[in-house]
């Protein structure tokens, strides 16, 4: 629904496009063909390209010269929860700050071109996370924390249209970047911790007009089946969306992950049903919203083990496959045409589930908890993986996975109030610990062959991995940790080729781009990120300290030969 003039007058959100030093006079509208087949110098989506690889075809920076890398400009960002990923199109960077500030910067110099500031009411957390943006046509698309999709004029930052997607008064909000496919802006929202009739959903919005064209709820309605053990629709919680989709142009589908059921434990929910469509990937036709297929990774998940993270599209042994890894450190693969499971490779650190072939078999003994009875589980609910996306290199045939090695010595679940407004995650206690296989080091970057599941190399660190990984055609992989280190690795061997200390922890989604023949590496830095970023190192690695403030973006390049 379009935001009404009355809603604006009531001050539910104050919308400001602030004047800046310049605007984008020579902006070229981004068409469908260019979005699907971008220039190597651009970074047009959350993970750059439709296949979700987080890979740049630029090759100016190599193992031989990366040692000369230096910072060429930086930009201070708004305070708040930092997990951003910049977009770069034709020499302009579009950057989402925490707390509602969107900026256009000259990607070569860092100069401000325009900015848009959105003011929120009391229902939106100050400094709320925005993980990224989308670009298409004349617009920048911003999935705002007040559950409104906003289209900004890419030249000026002025509002083109805005559409209210969900009710922020009951806690709904966006964090994930939208994607654009077949003229539709596709995004999912979260905030379904409590029992409400309104459920989390994925929406398709016409990119030109802002009209909502379709909606897919992530919780199975009673009319479609009973995977919730007879629980009324009102008392079915969870199914939040916090990850962006991947567009499979070959099959005309958007693949998007759905998180766990709430409360987390079967015992707290009062049944052992599969709880569709949680902990699953949905394949949706972007033009119509029809769900072509779904795959549930862990039916009836009982320990908050999200397996529905970013999905890559990779050709494996001559066949197209989707590839995904969630909290358990299992590399899941399947057929993107129908969702069928084809392979699964377990890194071997989790103690919760068994596999049968390419799919979930069952929980191990003692790993389906009762209420008020502690269990020891690896990983903890923080996961080995979290929002920090992995990347793929076609040269090495490997995914590069950011890891936090951790366990929970005494996870306790409780009963929840089964009434409207009740629910929650059902957690009553937690004792996070280091993993017994890695008692001294929490952080790890792992290179894993997608064809065989073999680990090619791993790099251990005291502090947890804290960024996405970024692979490049030059053979260099970039990533950062919680202890303010930024690394450049040889993708083939894992050798640290270059390392520098940053003023704040690297935190967010890295990007590579080029302007006027020069390759750049963009690195968000900052704070926040809830338990996935802060509680583990603060509790378990107290000797490592980082500043309490300091969000920003740092950009690196080789010395300018000109």
pLDDT tens, position by position, 6-24: 233 223 344 455 544 468 9
Instruction: Give the model's pLDDT for residue 6.
Output: 26
Rounded to 5 degrees, what are φ and ψ at 302? -125, 5
- 548-553 average pLDDT score: 96
Q: What is the mean pLDDT of residues 287-309?
A: 96
Please give the domain boundaries of the chain with CATH numbers for all domains.
Answer: 28-126+138-164+390-401+444-561 (2.140.10.10), 165-367 (2.40.128.630)
pTM: 0.96
Q: For residue 23, what pLDDT is reported?
A: 86
Cβ pair 204, 180 in contact under 8 A: no
Percent of the chain residues topping a pLDDT of 90: 93
Rounded Cα distance, 184 and 178, in Å: 10
Determine which helix (DSSP H) or strand (DSSP E) holds 34, and give its type and residue range.
helix 32-36
Q: Is the pLDDT of residue 402 over 60?
A: yes
Q: DSSP of 476-524, one letter per residue?
A: EEEEEBTTSEEEEEETTT--EEEEEE-SS-B-B--EEEEETTEEEEEEE
Q: Rounded to whole angstroms, how far apart are CA atoms 104 and 119? A: 18
Q: What average pLDDT does the chain have? A: 94
- Tell me: pLDDT of 2 over 50: no
Measured distance CA(435)–CA(441) in Å, rounded: 9
Are 142 and 176 contacting, i.e. CB atoms less than 8 angstroms apart? Answer: no
- The confidence band for 561, taking pLDDT boundaries of 50, 70 and 90, is low
Cα separation of 315 and 295, whole Å?
19
pLDDT tens for 51-73 read 999 999 999 999 999 999 999 99
pLDDT tens digits, residue range 221-258?
A: 999 989 999 999 999 999 999 999 999 999 999 999 99
């Amino acid at each position: 629904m379009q935001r009404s003039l009355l809603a604006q007058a009531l001050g539910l959100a104050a919308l400001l496009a602030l004047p800046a030093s310049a605007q984008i006079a020579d902006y070229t509208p981004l068409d469908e063909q260019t979005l699907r087949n971008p220039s190597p110098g651009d970074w047009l989506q959350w993970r750059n390209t439709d296949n979700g690889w987080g890979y740049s075809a630029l090759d100016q920076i190599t193992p031989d010269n990366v040692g000369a890398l230096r910072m060429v400009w930086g930009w201070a960002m708004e305070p708040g929860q930092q997990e951003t990923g910049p977009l770069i199109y034709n020499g302009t960077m579009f950057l989402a700050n925490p707390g509602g500030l969107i900026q256009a910067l000259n990607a070569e110099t860092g100069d401000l071109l325009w900015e848009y500031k959105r003011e929120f009411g009391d229902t939106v957390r100050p400094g709320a996370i925005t993980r990224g943006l989308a670009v298409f046509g004349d617009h920048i698309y911003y999935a705002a924390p007040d559950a409104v999709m906003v289209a900004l004029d890419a030249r000026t930052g002025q509002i083109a249209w805005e559409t209210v997607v969900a009710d922020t008064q009951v806690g709904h909000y966006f964090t994930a970047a939208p994607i654009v496919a077949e003229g539709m802006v596709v995004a999912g929202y979260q905030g379904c911790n409590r029992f409400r009739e309104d459920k989390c959903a994925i929406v398709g919005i016409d990119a030109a007009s802002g009209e909502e064209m379709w909606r897919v709820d992530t919780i199975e309605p009673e009319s479609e089946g009973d995977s919730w053990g007879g629980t009324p629709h009102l008392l079915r919680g969870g199914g939040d969306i916090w990850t962006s989709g991947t567009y499979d142009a070959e099959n005309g589908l958007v693949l998007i992950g759905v998180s766990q059921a709430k409360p987390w434990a079967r015992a707290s929910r009062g049944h052992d049903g599969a709880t569709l469509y949680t902990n699953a990937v949905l394949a949706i036709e972007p033009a119509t919203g029809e769900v072509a297929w779904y795959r549930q990774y862990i039916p009836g998940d009982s320990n908050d083990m999200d397996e529905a993270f970013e999905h890559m599209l990779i050709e494996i042994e001559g066949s197209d496959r989707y590839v995904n890894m969630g909290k358990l450190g299992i590399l899941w693969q399947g057929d993107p045409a129908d969702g069928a499971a084809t392979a699964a490779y377990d890194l071997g650190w989790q103690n919760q589930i068994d596999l049968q072939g390419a799919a979930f078999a069952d929980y191990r003994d003692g790993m389906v908890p009762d209420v008020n009875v502690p269990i020891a589980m690896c990983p903890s609910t923080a996961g080995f993986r979290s929002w920090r996306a992995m990347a793929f290199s076609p040269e090495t045939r490997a995914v590069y996975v950011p890891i936090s090695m951790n366990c929970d010595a005494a996870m306790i679940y409780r009963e929840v109030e089964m009434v409207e407004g009740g629910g929650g995650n059902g957690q009553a206690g937690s004792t996070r610990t280091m993993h017994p296989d890695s008692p001294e080091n929490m952080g790890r970057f792992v290179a894993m062959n997608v064809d065989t599941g073999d680990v090619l190399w791993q790099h251990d660190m005291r502090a947890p991995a804290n960024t996405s990984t970024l692979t490049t055609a030059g053979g260099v992989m970039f990533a950062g940790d919680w202890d303010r280190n930024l690394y450049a690795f040889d993708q083939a061997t894992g050798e640290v080729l270059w390392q520098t200390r940053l003023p704040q922890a690297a935190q967010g989604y890295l990007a590579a781009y080029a302007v006027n023949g020069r390759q750049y590496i963009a690195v968000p830095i900052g704070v926040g990120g809830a338990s996935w970023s802060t509680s583990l190192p603060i509790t378990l690695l107290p000797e490592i300290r980082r500043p309490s403030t300091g969000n920003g973006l740092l950009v690196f390049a080789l010395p300018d030969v000109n």
